[in-house]
Every structure is written in C-alpha cells, then in structure tokens.
Amino acid sequence: MNSPVSSDVKKVSAPLEPVRAAAEKTPVLDVQNLEVTYYTDAGRAVALDEVGFTLNAGEKLGIVGESGSGKSTLALAMMRMIKAPGRIEGGRVRVGDIDLLQLNAEEMRQARLQKISYIPQGAMNSLNPVIRIGAQMLDAVRAHMPSESGEAMRERCLLSLESVDLPRSVFRMHPHELSGGMKQRVCIAIGILLQPRVIIADEPTSALDVVTQRQVMETIDKVQKNINAAVILIGHDMGLMAQFVDKVAVMYAGRLVEVCTVREMFTDPKHPYSKALINCLPNLKNKGVFEGIPGLAPSLLRLPGGCAFNPRCASVMDMCRSRRPEVSELAGGRTVTCHKFTGEA
C-alpha cells in the first residue's frame, strides 16, 4: 500500500514530463510601451523607450544588441527587479491574463518562478557559496508552496536537476564543487522548478567554453520543449541565436529597432543597425576580413536628435537627424523602427 508521501512524490513528477504543444499557439507574453528611466546626478537616462513585443507559448525570442542597449534592463523590468535610481515609468507586462506591473509586492513575489522566471547572467555569482545546492532549491519551493510535504519538495528538486542532465548527487554539493557549466544548469533547474510560462535567460553562456555553451543551450532547448514555456534569450552571439531561437529582436539605445524571424534577420535584415550587426559576422567568402560598426553607442544621457543611430548609419537622411522614427509593421508581423519604412522617406 502506498504511503501519503509516495503519492505526493508522484504528483510532482508530472511538471517535468513533456507537455504536448497546443495545436494553435497561444500568446503567453505581451509587453507594451514599457519604459524605464534612471534618475542620476548627471541627468535623466531613458533605458527603455516604449518597448513592445509579444511571444507565444513554446516560442524562443533572442534579444541582441551592443552593451548598454537595454537588454538586461528589459529582463529586469519584466521581473520588476529594477533598483533605484531606476524606475519603471509605465507600460504593460502581461503573462497570460495577469499584468505583472499591476501586482502588489507579495503578488509579484509569488509570480516569480511560478509565472515568469529569470536565469541570471554569471551563474558563478548567482548561487550562495556557503549553502548546499539542495537547500537553495528547497528555499525557492518552500517560499511558493509551503503546504507541500518535505519529501515532495525534495523529489521536485531532484527531478528538476535530472531534467537538466545533472546527477542527483548535485543536490548535496556546494557551488564550489561544480564546474561553470554545472552551475549554469543548476540555475536553469531552479528557474523551472515551478513550471513558469516565461523563462528569461540573460546571457546564460557567458564565461563558458564553446562546448559547454552548446550543452547549456541544448539544455535550455530541451527544458523549454518539456514545459512548453516561452523563452527570452539575451546575448551578443548572433551565431548562437541563429541556432536556437525562432525570432530575433534587435535593441539600440533602449528601443527595439527590428523584430522578425531568425531567417528574415539573417537573409534580409531591414534596419541599418541590423544589417551592420549581420555584416560583422565572419563568413567563408571574406576570409580574414572583419567589418565593424563605425563610432560608439550613444550615452543614454545625451542621445542624438532624431534617430539615435543616425551618427553611425550608412543610409542616414536629413529627417533622421531631426525626427524620431516610429515603429512600422511589415508583412508577417515584422516590425522596423526606421524612416525608410514609414512612407515618409
């Protein structure tokens, strides 16, 4: 006869089994007009400027751009983890039918890990070095499911570790006993403990060798398919994006300048900045020739007039220096923020 504990354990094995994707994809994340501002002694810096996009269940979106473009700020804003002097000024972040920006502090704490989870950049610094991996995972489960039995919590954690190809023995280890790739997988295991609908991975392969990078990305890909979550992958590596995401969003100076499928991005980029990023990639036709983007990304405290990219743009027009471009929607839901596509050029 099964004991109550064994029945609890059976219940927690279900979240880690593959979930069949719905016949029709369902929008799971809707971000609209999201604005984040940092108030500093030097002035007001707009880190996110009316950012908006949608993501369906089971889809993977890659967010790319130079350092300082607002990628990590976007991730933290969706998690409502912006710290002073930063402030979320407005917008909407809807997961399913819940607007995260309208929740109170306790409701948002419950939404993290359950509705939306965040895999931080640099796993080496994300885990408490003096606490065992299992204790850190149990803390996460206990904070959201205090009524679950201790044995069920433990089994949930062990199943999560197994789902990212880690042995159960990791549960008893300290972070210093693990390699960089294993630490990153532990962070992924913590992120999927409660089957969130949206997973944000902020440069999950930074500081890892290329072999481990691929293993970590394959782990994220497998986990995403198992729970049918939407994944946002933040990074600089366009080659990595080409292999693992469905859509690409290019950020520049706090704005999304282009959002399209990964195939469209690599075969026919529309925005001049997107084209410049693609041209920076090495290819077999031009061996030994590397092309960069002239100039530097602008300071958010002193953005140029009109389009923020105009000082570095090879296709700049007079209106680009004086008028800010609006978002243009092209065929297939593709969006481009450039005067060439507004009909005014």
* Structure token pair of residue 288: 């030994």
- d(CA 104, CA 113) in angstroms, rounded, equals 16
**Tell me, what's the pLDDT at 48?**
94
> What is the mean predicted confidence (pLDDT) over 242-251?
93
| pLDDT per position as a tens digit, 184-201 | 899 999 999 999 999 999
Within 192-333, residue ranges assigned H as helices are 210-227, 238-244, 262-267, 272-279
Cross-strand partners of 106: none
CA atoms within 13 A on the CB side of 289: 6
Instruction: Provide the mean pLDDT of the chain.
Output: 87
Q: Is the dihedral of CA 329, 334, 335, 336 positive or negative?
A: negative
- The confidence band for 314, taking pLDDT boundaries of 50, 70 and 90, is confident
| pLDDT per position as a tens digit, 21-76 | 443 456 899 999 999 999 998 899 999 999 999 999 999 999 999 888 999 999 99
Would you give the distance in Å from CA 26 to the centre of its chain? 19
- d(CA 48, CA 77) in angstroms, rounded, equals 9
**Tell me, what's the pLDDT at 344?**
62
| pLDDT per position as a tens digit, 101-157 | 999 999 999 999 999 999 987 766 789 999 999 999 999 999 999 999 999 999 999
Sheet holding 327-329, edge to edge: 116-119, 198-202, 230-234, 60-64, 247-252, 255-261, 335-337, 327-329
Q: Return the closest-CA partner of residue 94 out of 26, 39, 141.
A: 26
Would you give the distance in Å from CA 114 to the centre of its chain? 16
DSSP secondary structure letter of residue 87: E
| pLDDT per position as a tens digit, 10-19 | 444 444 444 4
Instruction: Identify the structural domains of the chain with CATH numbers, from first to last.
Output: 4-18+28-252 (3.40.50.300), 272-283+290-341 (no CATH)
Provide CB contacts within 8 A for 38, sequence distance 6+: 44, 45, 47, 85, 86, 87, 300
